[in-house]
Structures are given as C-alpha cells and as structure tokens.
Structure 1
Amino acid sequence: MPEKPSDDQPSASEIPDDVWEQFTRATERDSHASAPKEPSARARMVTERLRQQEARGESPPGWRTGPDMMNGRAARRRKPWAFLGVPVAVAVALVALKPSLLPGDPFGADGSSAAASPLPVETAAPTAAPGASDPEIPTLDEPFAGSPALRWADGEAGIVLPEAKAVGSVPEERVEQALKLTKKLLVGANLDPKAVRGARPDAALSVLDPKQPELLDELDTALRSPSRKHDPVTLFSRFDPDEVRPVGDVIKTRGHMTFEKGAHGGVAVRADYTFVYPLVRADGPTEVTRTIVRRVIDVELADPARYRVTQGRLLLMEYDQEIGNSSCDVHDGYLHPEFSSSEPTGAAPSGPTTDPYDRSRDLDHDPDECGTVSRT
C-alpha cells in the first residue's frame, strides 16, 4: 500500500497566505524552467545509441534497471514522494523562511545562542576585562544587545552566596547569616524596583545596625537633602522617575563575595558586584542606554556578646563605587544616564577612560575625578 503523507507536514490550510504565495510563484518558475526543450544533436545521438543497445539486450548496468527497479517496487515507493511533493516543498519553503519551525531550531536561527549562553558563577576576581561584544545597538526588546552583561545573570540570581564555613570561633550558621544579610543589603540598595525608581531604600537600611548612628544620620541626610558631601548614589542605585525609566524588569548582575574573621569578634564580608541598568527617557523616545554601577562594600556581623551591636544587623565598615554613564558633578541624589542622541550634561570628563565591565581592576581611582567609559 502507498505510504500516507506524514501528519507532521503542514497542510495548505495551515500555511500563511504570504508563504503559500511565495511557494506558488517559485513552483511556477520551476515549471517554466523545466518545460520540455528541443534536445541537442549530441543528446539525440546518445539517445539513439542507447535505444539500439536496449533493443539488442545490451543496456548498460543501471540504465533503467537498477536493483530497486528490478524488484518491481520502485514505482510504488516513489508514489508517496510524488504525493508528498507539494507538502514537502512547502515545508522546505517554510523552514527556509523561518528555521525556528524545526524542533530545537538546529540551524541556530538567531545566530547568537552560543554567544548569549550564561556565564558560570563568578567565585573570585577575574584576571582581565571581558572581550569585545558585537557592536549591536540596544533596543526595547534587546536592551543588553552589544553588552558583555548579556551573558550575566538576572537580578538576584547573580548574587550567589559562597558556601558558609566556620571562621575561627564563629560558627558556620553565623557566617551564613552574615552572607544572607549582605545579599539583602545589595538587593535593597541596587535591585529593589521601587528603590531604583527613586523611592527610599528601606529594605537596605533595615539591614544596617542602628547603633551606627552617625552612618545612618548621614544616609538619611543624603536621601532627604542630597549634596556633594552627602550623595545617596554612593551606596544606592537611584534614578529620577521624571527623567528616565527602566527598560523591562531585568537588571544584569555579576560579582562575588568573600568572608574572613572580622575585627569585632564576628565575620567580615566583602561584596564586589556590578549592576547594569537599561533605561529610556521618561518622556517617550525609545532610545535605550545603559548605566553600569560597580560596588564594593565591606560589612561585619559583630559579636553582640562582646560589642555593643544589634543582633542580626550589619556594621557597614567601608564602601566604594564606580559609576559608568552618569553625568559628572550632579549631586541631586540620582544617577543621570546620558544618551548618544543628546548633548552631555554636567561637568566635562577630566579623568581617564575606563572599561566599566572590567571587574579585574581595583577601585583605586580619585573619588572626585570624573572620567569616561569605553563602552556601555
């Protein structure tokens, strides 16, 4: 019995009109191209010679009589192919127009699956800056196009805690608590959607020890009345909602934590993370830019039995930051990304050019020096 066409092949009713029209035109062209033509003199000579050999029983092996033809099944076996000719050809046309229709998209239609594969978790400082990326322009659909951050983890997933182990007399459970509190501080200061949109970063502040009154007073002043001396962006990533808005809800994150015995009977944690924010203007234009913020913070979960500290709160010992693509010398409590289509605002850069994605460098720059970035 003739084989039936495969149910996996698309039927004519399932084929979009534009694809069917393209296939019909291609079929008509092929039909015209394959129309019978007057054979050449040489072709007529060869055909006549083969006809005479066949009449004498001298047909060469394989000429109209191959192994598949001798068993009498070749014609029947070819019928399914003839019957499937149109559906198969349409399927080929569909795949040519949209390779992703094939299971698993074996042709890699986007051409970037390998390049966009996630990076392994960072467990220590890298030894060099990430390599050059394709010079793609970020869009609303692909806000991280052309950025090394395309392969970074999304948001909190990029803050992977190291395995907690006892440090001296500090038990493993205490170390784990310090690591989790540090992550909560990072998330509240850099990833919380409301805080990033300019709201007060209460989640981050709740992690800090209130028995550091001078620190908390300074942070409150910075949030309430920002100035050069008290600028909240030195610890919190904040954007003016009247100026810009985030593209989507993904902030790319990469970094690592380390820990050791602290100076106050507890465990000291150092966190070194970079956050990448895709943004557009709040007034409507769809040009996408990115601001890159790297933060290095040192905290300690001190021993409340030996020091006057609050149980379950962190002492913020030191913090530093490097901000890429934000206007210089503007201290209104927000980061101000610049767009390639706009004139730059703030003071002109006077410092060196750096790669904001280079996590192999120490942050040893002059805090009052404003430089330029090699890429965003």
Structure 2
Amino acid sequence: MSDKPAEESPSHPEIPDDVWEQFARDTERDIRASAPKEPSARAREVTGRLKPGKGEEPPGWRTGPAWQEMNGRAGRKRRAWAVLGVPLAVAAVVVAMKPSVIPGDPFGKGGKNGDGSPAAVAPLAPETAAPTAAPSAVDPETPTLDRPFAGSPALSWADGEAGIVLPQAKAVGVFSKDQVQLALKQTEKLLVDANLNLKTLAGARPATALSVLDPQQPGMIEELNTSLKTPAKTHDPLNLFSRFDPKHIRLVGDVVKTRGRITFKEGEHSGVLIHTDYTFVYPVVRTNGSTEVTRTIVRRVIDLELLDPARYQVTSGRLHVDHYNSDFGNSACEIYDGYFHPEFSSPSTSEPAGPAPSGPTTDPYDRSKDIGGENETCGTVSRT
C-alpha cells in the first residue's frame, strides 16, 4: 500500500501530501514504540503410528495379548501468538481512518452497519476439500467479551457441532452402509466430546470420547487414562483433548468456532479408514476478573479405523486409533500439566510461562498445509 491515499471523488476532502506523509511517519513510529514483545510459545511434532506397514499382519490383533510399545503415541506442535508486523499495522490504521484508499469492501460483511453496529457475517459453506490457501486477512479488531471472534477468520466459521458435517455413508468392503454410518457417528461423538464439550474444556474426563474407542486396542485406553490422571511430556492429554485449567482460564461464552472435514475409504486391512481434519478456535479470558480476551487455535488430524471382527480381535462397532497429530496456536511452550496456557498481552505472575519462541512464524488458520514432520522447536503464530 502506498503512503499516499488513492485519488478520491470530489465528495471527500483532499488531504495535502505533506500532512499525509507526516501522519504515516508518526503512526509507524508510535506503533514500533508500543508493540509488545513476542510471548512464549511451544512447538513439538512427532508422528505416532499404531498400525503396521502395508501388507503386514497386525501383531496381537488376531491372536490377542501383547502389543508392541507405542511409538511416539501422538504428534503435536505448539506455538504461541506473535504481534502483527508494523507495515500491516500501519495499513490497518490508514484504512480505519480513510477506507476509501482501497477499492471495494475489503472486509466484506464483517464491516459496520449504518448505526455503527457490527454487520452480520455470512457463514462459510462446509469444507469439502483442502483449501488452496490460508484465509484472507481480516480487519484486525480486538476481541471483546461481546465479540470474542472479532478480527478472526473464524468469525464466519460454523459454531461448534454445526461445523462437523458427516459425509454420506456408503458400503465399504465387508461393512454395510449402516455400519459405516455408525462409525461416522462414533467419530462425531469423539470430536465433539474431545474438543467442544464445555465440561471437557474445563478439565473433566471426556467419557463419551473414550467410550467410542476400542478397549481391546492394546495400550490406547491405558495411555489416555494415564495422560488424564498424571499428565506429562510422555503422555499428554492435549494430544487428543482440549482442556483449560478452570482455576485460571474460562471460555468466553459457549461457542467454539469449528472448521474442517471428514472423509473415509477402505483401509489397508480391509477396514473403514476415517480421516478427520479440524481446526477449533477457543476464545478465553482469565478468571481473575480481567476482560482481556485472547484465542487459542487447535488443529487436529486423526485417522480412525473400523476393523472387521471376523479377522481381528476387536470390539464390534468401536474405533481403533491409527494416527493422531495436533498443532496448537497460542499456548505456552513446554508445559505438560494437561492444560493449554494461552498468552495474553498483559503479564500474569500466577500462570506458568514456557521458554521464548525460537521457531518459525506460521498462520494457525492456514488449513491448506499438512501438519507433520519432526520439528520440535517453539514457534510463533502470525495471528489469533
């Protein structure tokens, strides 16, 4: 964007060049002086595979007892938020004071009504395939208790369960259409209870989510129970469940924004492989009376499989966890107490803080890229 505004119609007052240039210089100087330091962050990525390689018979599934020790258990990547760059902040100030410098309506329906109240935002259509790019930039408004998703691309995302849209079921391999439909409904229960249930978010045991998983999958339920009872780096409940410490953090309102998709196909072992990829946006506030609102963004990719009980020692209708991976935005780095620790611009002495970020800056709303790899460095996110 040029420092000089675009040429206007005669109905708008003209601003002299020297006045405009001085305004731009002063604004950029003030923003640089007042910009906060980057808060702490965390990022850790490990891939956990429970299923054997293609063509191999799963040890223990048919014959029963022993299971190989879980390799990695889960993947995760945690990053905390970073302040917007100065050029973008200057552009936001310029547009706010003089929106006619850019053509059209850059903020779409996220603008203002004639009386100054926020305009309604049209919801996005359900996601049916991976997007090709990150969401466009939006008006960088500050979230409030009344408008916790202000300034977020998630403003137009679905509310909670409405964002979890099941694909149309069909027969797969030895499984009928009704059996596949049941597996999809079980998957929905898992996603809802693990990521949207207000009790789970406040630290309660996600009993419904656990109930859809096969108790005969060696090590899985035991591992999840251990992570919930005694969280640690080696067994962290945040790998599958979203949780905030109710002593320090509470959700603003009862809406979590949701965006993602579910697909399914025949798996490598003649089962139904269900792939889920969802991003959840949590607006939160401290419980100490502060009204400052921030957001934690969590993306989860989970592969579940419905296996044939005629071939494997499994519980009919229950799901096996094949692989799960998470990417956390705005949660302090290297803290393993079983809760997210969102970063706020105002400091707090009662909440734990992790090490300073050293990894790359990424966009937590970008669903066009896969999450994976072995990067374990703490990073920052470009927006919340």
Counterpart residue identity of residue 361, structure 1 = K
Matches within 5 A, 1:205-354: 205-342=210-347, 345-354=353-362
Whether 1:154 and 2:159 are equivalent positions in the alignment is: yes
CA distance in 1 between counterparts of 2:270 and 2:228 reads 32
Contact 1:265–1:306 (Cα < 8 Å) also in 2: no
Q: TM-score, normalised by structure 1?
A: 0.69
What is aligned with 2:381? Answer: 373
CA distance in 2 between counterparts of 1:166 and 1:110 reads 53
Matches within 5 A, 1:93-112: 109=115, 112=118
- Inter-CA distance 365–286: structure 2 relative to 1 (3 Å threshold): farther
Structure 1: segments with no counterpart, 5+ residues: 1-105
- Inter-CA distance 339–177: structure 2 relative to 1 (3 Å threshold): same
CA distance in 1 between counterparts of 2:119 and 2:175 reads 45
Counterpart residue identity of residue 355, structure 2 = A
Contact 2:144–2:292 (Cα < 8 Å) also in 1: yes
Q: Which has the larger radius of gyration?
A: 1
Shift in Å at residue 263 of structure 1?
A: 2.7
What is aligned with 1:364? Answer: 372
CA distance in 2 between counterparts of 1:245 and 1:132 reads 27
Q: Helix, strand or coil for the counterpart of 1:223?
A: helix
CA distance in 1 between counterparts of 2:125 and 2:117 reads 21
Contact 2:174–2:308 (Cα < 8 Å) also in 1: no
CA distance in 1 between counterparts of 2:273 and 2:229 reads 30
Whether 1:185 and 2:190 are equivalent positions in the alignment is: yes
Matches within 5 A, 1:1-80: none
Q: How many residues align?
A: 270
Contact 2:325–2:372 (Cα < 8 Å) also in 1: no
Bigger proportion of residues as helix: 1
CA distance in 2 between counterparts of 1:231 and 1:330 reads 10
Supply the RMSD in Å over aligned alpha carbons: 1.7
Structure 2: segments with no counterpart, 5+ residues: 1-111
Q: Helix, strand or coil for the counterpart of 1:257?
A: strand
CA distance in 1 between counterparts of 2:226 and 2:116 reads 49
CA distance in 2 between counterparts of 1:120 and 1:282 reads 35
What is aligned with 1:113? Answer: 119
What is aligned with 1:6? Answer: none
CA distance in 1 between counterparts of 2:218 and 2:176 reads 28
Q: TM-score, normalised by structure 2?
A: 0.68
Contact 1:264–1:307 (Cα < 8 Å) also in 2: no
- Inter-CA distance 118–108: structure 2 relative to 1 (3 Å threshold): farther
Q: Helix, strand or coil for the counterpart of 2:188?
A: helix
Q: RCO higher in 1 or 2 (8 Å CA, sep ≥ 6)?
A: 2
Deviations 1:97-119 (A, max 9, x none): xxxxxxxxx965457536x2100
